[in-house]
């Protein structure tokens, strides 16, 4: 399967399309200055993303998972340039796009990466015809020289997302949720991007509509050689679409790796816990492990490894020292003291066959 | 079933509009026994929430019950006055909605809301009610309940608020709980805790639960039976294992195939083409016929009724025992 989705090798086949290096985004969530003065409060910083690194090979899908509020959307927004990172780099095809400052510098990259959001209702202008919604990026980037060319491009895009050219004359409210998400995808594809960031693109949709959109996304990836950063809290959806998966906890990537390796041999205690919570469609009679505790407050995260209050393997070192990211065989990384100290045996969850290590290595990392 | 706690017979819900009457729920019948969880699944807009709202008497006008009967422990409850229904709600039927904020008053502490609800529905003293409130918060897994009871809703996380809503629904030990997407807004980790709690209530107190959700995984591990709705009608009902493992109705078959599974390395999910018709344009015959891979002549003109035995049923002509016009190869497939 990995090869089916692979695009023609690029000139520099070794360089991943996207490389996120030590990315951080901190928000100032202090009260206004005067209140702070009166109430004698400190400035408060929320470390939404704090030192995240991963790479996405060309033509592949990298997914981020983790509990609500762990920073997935913030990573996505930094990657597409909607947020300026507090620290770190986002290398796109070798250039640090997070470090670009002038419009002229940014312009050539803008059209090469696009974002699709969760809510297909909110992200489409209700007063615009679908054809105008889709053609906006074409005009903005000057990608067509005549009105005729714009029109044929719109027809093309609508056909690509399995709508019809006649649908261009309609308004968003005339479409169902799944069809609206197709329109968002058509708009995102309008500038011929190589890289799409999809933040929960199917979470607002029915299972049956979700299947239509996921199939479409995979078809487009195959046809156009697209690279995806995909965000979802549904682990089965993530398993289906991804080549690589990253697990986030409280602003940090605690583990990332090749999909089948990660689901079969999860290393990090949080990854294991997350996999334990998957509802069991097979009805094997397994009771889901109710998870102890809740996601802690990101303004005041626990010291050391932020997962330690909920971790069954925590020891004194975990409460003091931040675990560093260690490479994992087959590509990817894991950040956990217990793994590093060899206190935590590798666990085989069976049923999933990871690809041979060589394949995984060739696929990326 | 005679021992049913809740019985819904031929329920019909209509919306009068300027352009005519829309039938949003049509001829829906099912029952739930004590201690049983009935899962309700189906396409968005299929009429799941309307059915739940009709049972608790909270159908928003202009929607109205236009036919059928709803019975709770043998008593009709669909024709009661607003006041009598309000007493039944809370005391005998507890409701849990998706968004906890709409069910909680932001101006009152969690404890005050629990105590007031308990005092309304039972004859406990205020002190007893407060003790019971703490007990309930502990039961739904709120840590340090005796301290947290005096917090306001906004001081709780989303998952904790949803658990408070559940505690509120449980205050008066209701016989029946209607839970409409109770865990959709929650993280999987908290979702697991809440479902475990619902299961425990059924087991220990014989509470009956109607669980409406999009999430087939939730149904698989919580429900005993499952009802599948499509375009306002019940198309299939049966034991959860048989509906998930051997779905009969072509819509249910499509729905099950569309669910991605961990460990299954298929490149494409099977998908149902097209979308559910709007209420204004429900096709004649079987409402699923334009999307059905097995549709034949009869499906386009005659509407299949739910052929119900005690435990299971399916509304599809393929399963009509004495039909002679089911195409051979299709009959073989089914
Ligand atoms: N603009 C902002 N200002 C202040 N805090 C923010 C801002 N955006 C996000 N946050 C905070 O950063 C943290 C991470 O948020 P983010 O939206 O990235 O989470 P997420 O993983 O996408 O969660 P979800 O699954 O709920 O979408 C949260 O604690 C959130 O409250
Ligand atoms: N006030 C109204 N006027 C007209 N139609 C309405 C009204 N309220 C609801 N409906 C229709 O009734 C149908 C059933 O709605 P219902 O909320 O029960 O669906 P549902 O199965 O719960 O869907 P979901 O999974 O999206 O919650 C929908 O098609 C909806 O458009
Ligand atoms: S570093 Fe320590 S607390 Fe953190 S996950 Fe590993 S064992 Fe648990
Ligand atoms: S009745 Fe006909 S159209 Fe309807 S589901 Fe059965 S075979 Fe398909
Ligand atoms: Mg998000
Ligand atoms: Mg609903």
ipTM, 2 dp: 0.83
- Looking up tokens 């990608």 gives A143
Cα A304 to middle of ligand 5, angstroms: 25
- How much is the pLDDT for B35? 94
The per-residue pLDDT for range A175-219, each reduced to its tens digit, is 878 888 899 999 999 999 999 999 999 887 888 889 999 999 999
Residues 6+ apart with CB under 8 A from B207: B34, B35, B173, B174, B175, B176, B177, B201
With a Cβ cut-off of 6 Å, ligand 3 is lined by: A 268-269, 305, 307-308, 311, 313-314, 318, 323, 336-338
The CB of B231 under 6 Å from ligand 4? The reply is no
Protein residue with least CA distance to atom 4, ligand 3? A305
Cβ-Cβ contacts under 8 Å, A351 against chain B: 263
pLDDT at residue B249 tops 80: yes
Residue of A nearest to B45 (CA): A206
Highest mean pLDDT among A7-16, A53-62, A172-181, B150-159: A53-62
**Three-state SS for B197?**
helix
Cβ-Cβ contacts under 8 Å, B191 against chain A: 277, 279
> Alpha-carbon distance B260 to A205, whole Å?
14
Mean residue pLDDT of chain A comes to 85
Q: Do A281 and B217 touch (CB under 8 A)?
A: yes
User: What letters, b where the CB count within 10 A reaches 16 and e where it falls short, cover A49-70?
Assistant: bbbbbbbbbbbbbbbbbbbbbb
List the single range of B18-27, B51-60, B92-101 with lowest mean pLDDT: B92-101
Which of B291, B317, B320 to mutate to test ligand 4, by most ligand atoms within 8 A of the CB atom? B317
Q: How confident is the model at residue A283 (pLDDT cuts 50, 70, 90)?
A: low
- Looking up tokens 């949803």 gives B162
The CB of B304 under 6 Å from ligand 4? The reply is yes
pLDDT at residue B309 tops 50: yes
Short-list B244, B188, B200, CA closest to A276: B188
Q: How confident is the model at residue B25 (pLDDT cuts 50, 70, 90)?
A: very high
Angle at A295 between CA A228 and CA A282, to 5 degrees: 65
Q: Do A236 and B260 touch (CB under 8 A)?
A: yes
| pTM (global) more than 0.95 | no
Q: Does A207 touch chain B (CB under 8 A)?
A: yes
* 8 Å CB contact between A47 and A74: no
Residues 6+ apart with CB under 8 A from A170: A129, A130
What percent of the residues of chain A are helix, what percent strand, and what percent coil, each to the nearest 5?
Answer: 35, 20, 45
Cβ-Cβ contacts under 8 Å, A289 against chain B: 192
Percent above pLDDT 90 for chain A: 56
Q: Do B196 and A288 touch (CB under 8 A)?
A: yes
- Looking up tokens 């009956």 gives B208
**Three-state SS for A309?**
helix
Residue of B nearest to A280 (CA): B217
**Three-state SS for B260?**
coil
Q: What count of CB pairs under 8 Å joins A to B?
A: 125
Q: Do A283 and B191 touch (CB under 8 A)?
A: no
Q: How many residues does chain A have?
A: 365
Taken in order B222, B223, B228, B231, the sign of the CA dihedral is negative
Percent above pLDDT 90 for chain B: 55
Q: What is the DSSP letter of A23?
A: E
Cα A99 to the center of its chain, rounded Å: 20
């Amino acid at each position: 399967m990995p090869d089916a989705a692979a695009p023609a090798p690029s000139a520099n086949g070794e360089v991943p399309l996207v490389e996120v290096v030590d990315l951080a985004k901190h928000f100032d969530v202090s009260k206004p200055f005067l209140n702070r003065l009166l109430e004698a409060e400190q400035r408060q910083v929320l470390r939404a993303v704090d030192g995240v690194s991963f790479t996405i090979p060309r033509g592949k899908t990298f997914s981020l998972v983790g509990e609500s509020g762990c920073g997935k959307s913030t990573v996505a927004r930094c990657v597409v340039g909607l947020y300026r990172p507090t620290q770190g780099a986002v290398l796109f095809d070798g250039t640090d796009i997070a470090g670009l400052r002038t419009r002229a510098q940014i312009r050539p990259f803008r059209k090469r990466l696009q974002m699709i959001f969760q809510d297909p209702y909110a992200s489409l202008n209700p007063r615009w015809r679908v054809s105008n919604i889709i053609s906006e990026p074409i005009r903005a980037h000057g990608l067509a020289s005549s009105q005729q060319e714009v029109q044929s491009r719109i027809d093309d895009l609508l056909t690509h997302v399995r709508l019809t050219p006649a649908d261009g004359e309609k308004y968003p409210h005339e479409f169902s949720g799944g069809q609206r998400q197709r329109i968002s995808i058509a708009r995102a594809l309008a500038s011929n991007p190589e890289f799409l960031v999809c933040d929960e693109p199917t979470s607002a949709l029915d299972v049956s509509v979700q299947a239509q959109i996921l199939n479409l996304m995979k078809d487009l990836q195959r046809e156009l050689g697209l690279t995806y950063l995909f965000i979802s809290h549904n682990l089965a959806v993530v398993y289906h679409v991804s080549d690589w998966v990253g697990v986030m906890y409280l602003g940090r990537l605690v583990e990332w790796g090749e999909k089948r390796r990660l689901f079969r041999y999860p290393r990090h205690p949080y990854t294991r816990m997350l996999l334990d919570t998957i509802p069991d469609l097979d009805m094997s009679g397994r009771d889901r492990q109710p998870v102890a505790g809740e996601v802690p407050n990101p303004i005041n995260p626990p010291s050391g490894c932020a997962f330690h209050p909920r971790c069954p393997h925590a020891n004194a070192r975990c409460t003091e020292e931040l675990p560093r990211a260690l490479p994992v065989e087959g590509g990817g990384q894991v950040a956990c003291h217990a793994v590093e100290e060899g206190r935590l045996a590798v666990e085989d969850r069976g049923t999933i066959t990871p690809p041979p290590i060589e394949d995984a290595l060739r696929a990326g990392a | 079933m005679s021992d049913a706690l809740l019985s819904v017979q031929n329920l019909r819900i209509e919306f009068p509009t300027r352009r005519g009457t829309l039938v949003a729920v049509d001829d829906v019948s099912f029952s739930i026994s004590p201690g049983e969880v009935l899962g309700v699944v189906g396409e968005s807009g299929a009429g799941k929430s309307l059915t739940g709202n009709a049972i608790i008497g909270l159908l928003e006008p202009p929607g109205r019950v236009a036919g059928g009967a709803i019975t709770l422990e043998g008593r009709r409850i669909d024709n009661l006055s607003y006041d009598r229904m309000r007493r039944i709600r809370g005391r005998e039927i507890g409701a849990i909605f998706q968004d906890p904020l709409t069910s909680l008053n932001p101006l009152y502490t969690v404890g005050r809301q629990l105590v007031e609800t308990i005092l309304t529905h039972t004859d406990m003293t205020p002190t007893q009610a407060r003790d019971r409130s703490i007990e309930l918060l502990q039961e739904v897994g709120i840590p340090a309940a005796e301290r947290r009871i005096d917090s306001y809703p906004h001081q709780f996380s989303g998952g904790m608020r949803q658990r408070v809503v559940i505690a509120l629904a449980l205050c008066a030990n209701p016989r029946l709980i209607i839970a409409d997407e109770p865990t959709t807004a929650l993280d999987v980790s908290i979702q697991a805790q809440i479902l475990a709690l619902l299961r425990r209530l059924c087991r220990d107190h014989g509470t009956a639960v109607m669980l409406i959700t999009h999430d087939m995984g939730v149904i698989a591990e919580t429900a005993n039976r499952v009802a599948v709705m499509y375009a306002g009608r019940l198309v299939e009902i049966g034991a959860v294992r048989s509906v998930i493992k051997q779905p009969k109705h072509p819509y249910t078959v499509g729905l099950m195939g569309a669910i991605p599974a961990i460990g299954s390395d298929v490149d494409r999910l099977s998908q149902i083409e097209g979308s559910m018709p709007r209420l204004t344009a429900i096709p004649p015959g079987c409402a699923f016929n334009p999307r059905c891979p097995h549709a034949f002549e009869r499906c386009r003109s005659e509407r299949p009724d739910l052929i119900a035995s005690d435990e299971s049923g399916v509304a599809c002509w393929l399963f009509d025992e004495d039909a002679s016009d089911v195409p051979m190869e299709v009959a073989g497939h089914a």
